[in-house]
A and B are shown apart, each in its own frame.
Chain A
Amino acid sequence: MTGSDLFFGLVVLFLIGAASSVVLNKKDRICSYISFISAAIASLLGIIFSFSVILGNNFVFNVSGTFLNFGFFVDKLSAFFILIISITAFAVSIYSTGYVKEYFGKKNIGYLCFLYNIFILSMVLVVSANNALMFLIVWEMMSIISYFLVVYEHEKPETRKAGFIYIVMTHIGTGFILLSFLILASGSASFSFETFRAGVLTMPPLLRDAAFLFALIGFGTKAGIVPLHIWLPYAHPEAPSNVSALMSGVMIKTAIYMLIRVSFDFLGASVLWWGVLLLIIASASALLGVMYALMEHDIKRLLAFHSVENIGIILIGVSVSMIFMSTGHPELAAFGLIAALYHTMNHAIFKSLLFMGAGSLIFSTHTKNIEEMGGLLKKMPWTGMFFLIGSIAISALPPLNGFVSEWLTFHAQLLSINLSDNITKIIVLSSGAALALTSALAAACFVKAFGISFLALPRSEHARNASEAPGSMLFGMGILSLLCIALGVLSFYFLPVLDSIASPLSGASVLPKVAFDLSLAALSPQAGSISTIWIFLLLFVFVPVPFLLSLALGGRTKARTYETWGCGQPVCTARNEYTATGFSKPIRMWGSGIYRPHREIQTSYAGSPFFKERFTFDTQIEPIFEKYFYEPITRLAFFVSRILKVIQTGSIHIYLLYIFITLVIALIYVGVGG
């Protein structure tokens, strides 16, 4: 099969999946199987296709006519993102065959399956578009279809609110993207991406700055950088979990793709302050993302805030790479980009895995609040195992994949010692402290998320009656869990491939300076090396040591099961357990400057003030971005609209008058000027 067979094959299969769900709309079971399986096969084709491009030649397809001029261009960077989309979509599609059973008889399955297929297709087309107009069309398609998926459970008012916030934010983003493209197109007088590169060279620096800034705001909105992130914690939790896995895992990555495309490929990453600005925004996103995640008890909102965090980590790699590019260190830039791309891949995998895990939890417990879960590891052993693997990976603990990409990011930051400007050096190195704090807080957050939801006693009736998710859902999660392990332990195998993706963008390969054999080395073996496979083997080999030690020194002993010690009191119920709110309390106190927490305690007494009858406790944090950034803007928008309302009388005569006046002014203009 050639590249174009594979590419159009996957397009057609997604369309078949979509069409069959329309035809079989009334038959829930068959409809879901056919459309999700065709999506899974299409994703397999996508995996093969992307490998054929990454290891072979670029794929080009052009249609040009007098009016219509569009095309697909898949280079290694696009193929890498198609690979991410396809791997995730494959696992999620299998998971979905089980997950949608929740909706059988209650919701329109055909509608969901139709949107699901078109959604994945639109993401694939976004990363392969080769023309600004075509790109904007598929980008809008992706945004609008994801909006429809977010509001799938539209009978709930909070879902409609989330959908509204999402669609407003995504269109503000698209507006800025349009501005950026118009500037880029003005340099070349064409909307084709190929001419953008040449056009930029003759462009005044100020316009280039503007193009970068507009692209940063536009794509940053989709990616979820602070302060444009506010839609993520609303939209991702409200969508069905299989869709949130795709949205959080891969959709926001298409924005990363375009940000890399615009700043490296089109604009050549030639200005130092672009990188520094992005680095500061990225560090802030990483840190604030994880800090807000720690305060969440809604498992899906928690994961959505972690997406903000991880987008920050990815962009730290991208921005460090841009700093190297602009100061003439192309091979170091390739190293930074490798770190960023690897984290993009890893985040797609463990975040989709965690969202699927969250979906299983909701599927069995019918709640999103982790305070109402607990004890689920015994009821859902496999879901628990997969969620634990995802938690270890996202907390960047060795030997899993998250550790490798964060390690590469730390070393990319260390390499800034090669820069000539001391202030830039200090900024980049200090961002290492922000990244370290971020990953430590992420570990704290996942101890909370896993510990409160899976360990100890069930905290509610729902959790007591939970049972394991169906096999198809476990299978989908299992694939990604294995990938988390493989991408960590065998990372040395994937990194040279990433270099072949990054080096065309930076203009130099990092391979001559780095040994990617059994150990990873950051720029010459002197600068630091890890070998995740050896760490894995060491961990594995040492497992018998504690057993042998205790057997040799202590002999055989027995273990007795008894109730947990409760300070001598005969109480041991779920109400005595530590809560998620309690667990994150030290961090809430430490970060009170940002969180601005306030609490309300109401006590009612039974007669005497010594006997408390009821005690209610409520604690909340202040959403500072919504309150101090978006609320004033919204108020301003309402104020302006109220003023403009004066001309909107609703009377057709007045509107005719407007048209007449406009016509007169236009005629005068033409008469005087022309």
Chain B
Amino acid sequence: MNPVAIAIFQMLVIIALAPLLSGIMKKVKAFFQIRKGASIFQPYYDIAKLLKKDSVVSENASWIFHAAPVISFVAILAAGMLIPIYISDMPFGFAGDLIAIVYLLALARFFTALASLDTGSSFGGMGGSREMFVASMVEPAMMLSIFAIALNVGSTNLDVISQTVSSRGFSAFSPYHLLAFVALFIIAIAETGRIPVDNPATHLELTMIHEAMILEYSGKQLALVELGAMMRNLLVFSLLANIFFPWGIASTASVAGIAAALVAFVIKIAVLGAAMAVVETSTAKWRLFRLPDLLSISLMLSFLALVSFIIVKGG
């Protein structure tokens, strides 16, 4: 297949599958809360509904407020081009490594946080402040686990990582690989704004982070913001899936291989999403100022992954 076609298809897959992951997670949460829950396709209907609605824009807002949803959306999409979804040899895999993905997601966050301050609402500022705080706490743990993965595999580029890990088979499950996975799973909780870090279903001012930032958005813009957040979730999950369990991913661009890989991908993110939903239903939300404890657990795990790798393999 043509590399451009693969890239465009990957973009469409990311946009199309993002609401599904959100729907599955909501359904699993409903199951554990002994509710019936909405259909797993509900997020699609929500996005479609919001896209048709007129929006209300604050009179205080500057162009940042209008540009931020677009810039965030575009940055997340660009990060999506660097992550293996169904094929390990992505056409734009060379354009950025794990560090670039982290910083592209940070670019999206930077503009969302700016927009949160733009309307002059104290909710927005509160959300932006908390978001940047949590993001700062996440970063060192994230970088150490990236280092641990990169040293283990010999590259920070995701195409190389997923190829190497899948070629190693079960021998890839070394202690440092698993330590890095747990560390990155905790980071994923924070990155995707899940309980115990943030509650995506809340509108209580004492607890909300991401919802507070986007409180002033409505209509089309809100749809873009929500879709962007769902895409970010999907990308973080596919990072977890295809760094640690890249089985089934297509290594060459054949139609049959890609179709099989897509099925494998949906299963993987559904399992990870269900696992995240279990974590969400089985824990309570933590106080904001206890979060550094949670993230230092992740920092310590990734440090251990790094040290154990150096002691076992290095030297």
Chain A residues packing against B (C-beta within 8 Å): 375, 377-378, 392, 395-398, 403, 407, 410-411, 413-414, 417, 420, 422, 425-426, 429-430, 432-437, 439-441, 443-444, 446-448, 450-452, 454-457, 519, 522, 525-531, 534-535, 538-539, 542-543, 545-547, 549-550, 553-555, 557-566, 572, 574, 576-579, 582-587, 589-590
Contacts and interface: CB of A to CB of B under 8 A. Distances in A.
Interface in B222-276: 223-224
Contacts of A434: 140
B117 A456 contact: yes
Contacts of A450: 114
B182 interface: no
Nearest to A521: B94
Nearest to B309: A417
A563 B58 contact: yes
A539 B141 CA distance: 27
B32 to A, nearest CB: 31
Given A410-B99, A426-B306, 19 more contacts: A407-B103, A426-B307, A443-B135, A447-B114, A451-B117, A455-B117, A527-B154, A531-B94, A539-B75, A550-B51, A553-B48, A554-B50, A560-B54, A561-B57, A564-B58, A564-B216, A578-B126, A584-B129, A590-B289
Interface string B51-78: 1111111111011100001100111011
A424 to B, nearest CB: 10
A543 B95 contact: no
Contact of A564 (B59, B96, B144, B299): B59
A546 B224 contact: yes
A422 B310 contact: yes
Given A398-B107, A562-B59, A589-B289, A577 B54 contact: no
Interface residues on B, range: 35 or more
A534 B95 contact: yes
Contacts of A411: 156
B220 to A, nearest CB: 5
Contacts of A560: 54-57
Contacts of B137: 590
A583 B125 contact: yes
Contacts of B307: 426
Given A586-B288, A586-B289, A398 B140 contact: no
Contacts of A574: 120
A430 B124 CA distance: 34
B152 to A, nearest CB: 10
Contact of B155 (A413, A527, A584): A527
A545 to B, nearest CB: 6
Contacts of A440: 106, 132, 135-136, 138-140
Contacts of A414: 147, 150-151, 156
B52 A557 contact: yes
B100 interface: yes
Given A436-B142, A447-B114, A564-B60, A519 B292 contact: no
Nearest to B69: A546
A454 B117 CA distance: 10
Contact of A586 (B51, B133, B151): B133
A546 B74 contact: yes
Contacts of A451: 113-114, 116-118, 125, 128
B96 A433 contact: no
B136 A456 contact: no
Contacts of B306: 426, 429
B103 A396 contact: yes
B81 interface: yes
Contacts of B63: 377
Can you list the 7 inter-chain pairs with the closest CB atoms, starting with the nearest?
A578-B125, A554-B51, A436-B143, A528-B156, A451-B117, A444-B132, A456-B120
Contacts of B150: 414, 527-528
Contact of A436 (B119, B132, B140): B140
The DSSP consensus for interface residues of chain B is helix
A36 B307 CA distance: 55
B11 interface: yes
Contacts of A572: 60, 120
B27 interface: no
Nearest to B158: A528
B107 A397 contact: yes
Interface string B282-311: 000000110010000001000100110011
A576 B106 CA distance: 28
Most buried by B among A434, A542, A546: A546
A583 B60 contact: no
Interface string B70-104: 10011101100100000000001011111110011
A435 B57 CA distance: 38
B290 to A, nearest CB: 11
A579 B288 CA distance: 19
B95 A531 contact: yes
B224 A539 contact: no
A252 B43 CA distance: 53
Most buried by B among A429, A528, A565: A528
A553 B19 CA distance: 15
Nearest to B93: A529
12 contacts: A425-B314, A432-B144, A433-B144, A530-B100, A535-B78, A557-B54, A557-B219, A562-B57, A563-B59, A564-B216, A565-B121, A590-B137
Most buried by A among B75, B95, B113, B130: B95
A414 B306 CA distance: 11
A554 B103 contact: no
Contacts of B116: 451
Given A539-B74, A557-B55, A437 B140 contact: yes
B178 interface: no
Contacts of B144: 429-430, 432-433, 436
A286 to B, nearest CB: 12
Contacts of B11: 542, 545
Nearest to A397: B107
B223 A554 contact: yes
A542 B104 CA distance: 14
Most buried by A among B74, B103, B306: B103
Contacts of B50: 554
B107 A377 contact: no
B278 interface: no
B6 interface: no
B74 A436 contact: no
B51 A529 contact: no
B118 A456 contact: yes
Nearest to B141: A433
Contacts of B129: 448, 578, 582-586
A534 B120 CA distance: 36
Contacts of A529: 94-95, 97, 157
A543 B70 contact: yes
B160 interface: yes
B110 interface: yes
A634 to B, nearest CB: 34
Given A561-B57, A586-B133, A587-B133, A576 B120 contact: yes
Contact of B315 (A422, A526, A577): A422
A37 B100 CA distance: 41
B103 A561 contact: no
B17 interface: no
Contacts of A417: 151, 310, 314
Given A435-B143, A447-B113, A528-B155, A539 B62 contact: no
Given A414-B147, A529-B97, A565 B216 contact: yes
Contact of A443 (B69, B92, B110): B110
Nearest to B150: A414
B172 interface: no
Nearest to B220: A550
A432 B147 contact: yes
A352 to B, nearest CB: 22
B122 interface: yes
Contacts of A586: 129-130, 133, 288-289
A492 to B, nearest CB: 12
